[in-house]
Amino acid sequence: MVLFRCFMLQNNILNTIKYFDIFAYPLTSWECYHWLYGNSEPVEYEDFIKELDRMVEDKELMKLDGFYFLPGREKNIQTRQRRYLLAQLKYNIAVRAVKIIRSLPYIKYIAVCNSLAYNNASEGSDIDLFVIAEAGKLWRARFVAATLMQLLRWRPTEKVSKDKICLSFLIADDGLDIEAMAIENDIYLKYWLVQLVPLYDPSNLQEKLMKANDNWLRKDLPNYLVYRTNDFRKVQDGYISKTIKFILESILRPKFVEILLRRFQFAILSNDLKTIANKDTRVVMNDKILKFHVLDRREMYRDKYLKRTKNV
């Protein structure tokens, strides 16, 4: 039984590192531990380290400068370090944007998501933000935020996306469980959730979000931790931001405004979005979730992962 558990743990360690290798991202021991994928129950850190080091001794993995990676993939260390420096610059932009967006009506939480969340940004990438808005006011929040980004010329376009602010995923605070958005074997969405970096969270929605999704996350990520944002990146409410938010919420408070803005935003959507809206999980539009991902790559990443691990 002990040998079987050791075998399964090594198998899951290898699979975890193979997944992040898709993104040229070698892992530290701590990252590999709390992002360990596939175990049905938590593993003690000491036991985990023993198996990790044993795999290095057996040449299944390599270790250099504190990073663990597949044999022959040493170059990914430099790639990770270069992308980390790029990510710091993009985080500075994200913080500046969030300091503006926090003042908008009904927005209660803003987090960095996707590759930037774990400091793996590419030079030409945009900055993806995930937003939680007050229940029943999701369309109002999205309209004001998207309009402001458009006026400031911060929204990505087909020609320019570098360092632009992308607001393509918003949910209401009464619909925090997003398991219904998962595709089959959705490894990407699970990592996406546990890697969220909240920059603005005055109501501590990060805890509630992770609690709402904990049951289905723990099935494959038993060691994940709720992310705690560094103080220097946290964006707090100020007197001016609170005042602007109060004024805008007072103006937009009538319920009919939600209906009008929902109809308006749907009317101006591109045909690409309208064609697939609510047909699957790429583009979802209702009163609890607004998700606009025509190029949803989750299936591609899942298939790459399964192809790499099917013989393990």
Establish if 309 belongs to a structural domain: no
Do residues 129 and 257 both lie within one domain? yes
Establish if 312 belongs to a structural domain: no
Do residues 125 and 34 both lie within one domain? no
Establish if 89 belongs to a structural domain: no
The predicted pLDDT at position 1 comes to: 45
CB of 62 closer than 8 Å to CB of 71: yes
Beta-ladder partners of 107: 133
Average pLDDT, the chain: 93
CB of 29 closer than 8 Å to CB of 52: yes
Range with the poorest average pLDDT among 69-83, 104-118, 127-141, 258-272: 258-272
Beta-ladder partners of 68: 27, 63
Domain end point (choices 73, 90, 113): 73
Please state the rounded mean pLDDT for residues 282-286: 94
Is the pLDDT reported for residue 88 higher than 70?
Answer: yes
Establish if 307 belongs to a structural domain: no
pLDDT tens digits along 168-213: 999 999 999 999 999 999 999 999 999 999 999 999 999 999 999 9
Pairing of strands 197-200, 165-172: unpaired
Establish if 80 belongs to a structural domain: no
Q: Which CATH number belongs to the domain containing residue 55 in this structure? A: 1.10.10
Do residues 132 and 278 both lie within one domain? yes
- In terms of residue numbers, what domain contains 26? 2-73
Establish if 111 belongs to a structural domain: yes
The predicted pLDDT at position 311 comes to: 56
Q: What is the largest CA-CA distance in the chain?
A: 66
Please state the rounded mean pLDDT for residues 280-301: 94
Smallest CA-to-CA distance from 131 within 164, 172, 90 is with 172
Tokens of 198: 């909240």
Do residues 167 and 65 both lie within one domain? no
Do residues 6 and 148 both lie within one domain? no
Q: Which amino acid is at 180?
A: A
Distance CA 50, CA 36 (A): 15
Do residues 240 and 110 both lie within one domain? yes
Domain end point (choices 28, 58, 73): 73
How many domains does one find in the chain?
2
Do residues 55 and 199 both lie within one domain? no
Do residues 163 and 201 both lie within one domain? yes
Do residues 161 and 289 both lie within one domain? yes
Do residues 142 and 182 both lie within one domain? yes
The predicted pLDDT at position 230 comes to: 83
Do residues 296 and 170 both lie within one domain? yes
Establish if 81 belongs to a structural domain: no
Establish if 179 belongs to a structural domain: yes
CA quadruple 149, 151, 157, 163: dihedral sign: negative
The predicted pLDDT at position 312 comes to: 45
Q: What is the pTM of this model?
A: 0.95
Is the pLDDT reported for residue 240 higher than 70?
Answer: yes
Do residues 252 and 144 both lie within one domain? yes
